[in-house]
Amino acid sequence: MTRQQRQTLDELLRHGPLDIGGDVVEQRAVFHEMIASIPLPADVSLTPDQLGGVPVLTVETPGSDPSTVLLYFHGGAYAIGSAADGAGLAADVARRVGARAVSVEYRLAPEHPFPAAVDDAVAAYRALLDQGVPSDRIAFVGESAGGGLVVAALVAAKDAGLPQPASAAVFSPWTDLTLSGGSLVGKAAVDPSLTAAGLRTRAGDYLGATDPAVPTASPLFADLTGLPPLLVQVGSHEILLDDATRLAARAAEHDVRVDLQVWPQVPHVFQSFAAMLDEADAALDAAAAFVRAQWAGAAAEQATAEQATAEQAEQGSELQSQGAPS
């Protein structure tokens, strides 16, 4: 973990072509070109599909367990990015976890404003459940706006009476579209990629006339009670630092198991740069370990419950035998 790696990445992002608040059509193309300049590893396969009418890409790496699923939500401030653009990071997480990932092509603003993205996220999750994938074999993962969408979708799923997945991991989540976090100003000088003005533009595209404090738009203000174990990772050199730390505090307030990891002197969604940044590699390993641990815990609980049920049935059979006439 070298200072030189961090400085190199900082310079790369500061002088990059992406303007998060720029013309949405132009910036979608710019973002896609940036992502496409780093090809996927040859052993990653992408398969187009649909879940609940929502286009998705199934992302698989060698040795992945098809019974476990990462439901993945890409970033891009709700207006930029795609399931394919998110596939690289999704594949990196999936490889370390040993699961298949499903990258969701949720609808983007301004063409499809709130709550389109949340509706698509819940529809995809509901379809996975309807296919017979147990909720305790699913984990939600998301970056930036996709991280906020993870939490919003969990809240919406809870409100819809759906079971929660085993866990959720979010990288640099955008959780407060009221833009009230102090780090929007306090970290502006050290954030090489995001600006408050750019986020304000994209929030307007996404929200339209909707109150930005609506819980499924800004899940920082939601009732998080009953959500699954949550991992929050964020860099200290980003204006969304407070969105992450306040989310963790909110989750803790509502009795959610939450792990907050603040990685020093790294930028927004630094996990995308594992090929050049040691901190990113370590963070992804930590995220994978978290997801696997929750699946292991859920499996152990299921085994214990099945054993208890079997023992009760056996005891019932013995009582019936003892009570039968001779």
Phi-psi region of 266 (alpha: psi -120 to 50; beta: other; left: phi over 0): beta
Q: Which of 60, 183, 268, 272 is catalytic?
A: 268
Compute the distance between CA of residue 104 and CA of residue 58 in angstroms, rounded to an integer: 9
Q: Which of 144, 167, 183, 193 is catalytic?
A: 144
Active site residue 144: yes
Active site residue 253: no
For 184, half-sphere exposure in the C-beta direction (CA atoms, 13 angstrom radius) is: 16
CA torsion, ordered 197, 82, 264, 249, to nearest 10 deg: 80
Compute the distance between CA of residue 16 and CA of residue 263 in angstroms, rounded to an integer: 22
Compute the distance between CA of residue 292 and CA of residue 96 in angstroms, rounded to an integer: 9
Q: Which of 60, 143, 238, 279 is catalytic?
A: 238
- The residue written with tokens 């019974």 in the block is 67
Tokens of 196: 């408050």
The set of catalytic residues is 144, 238, 268
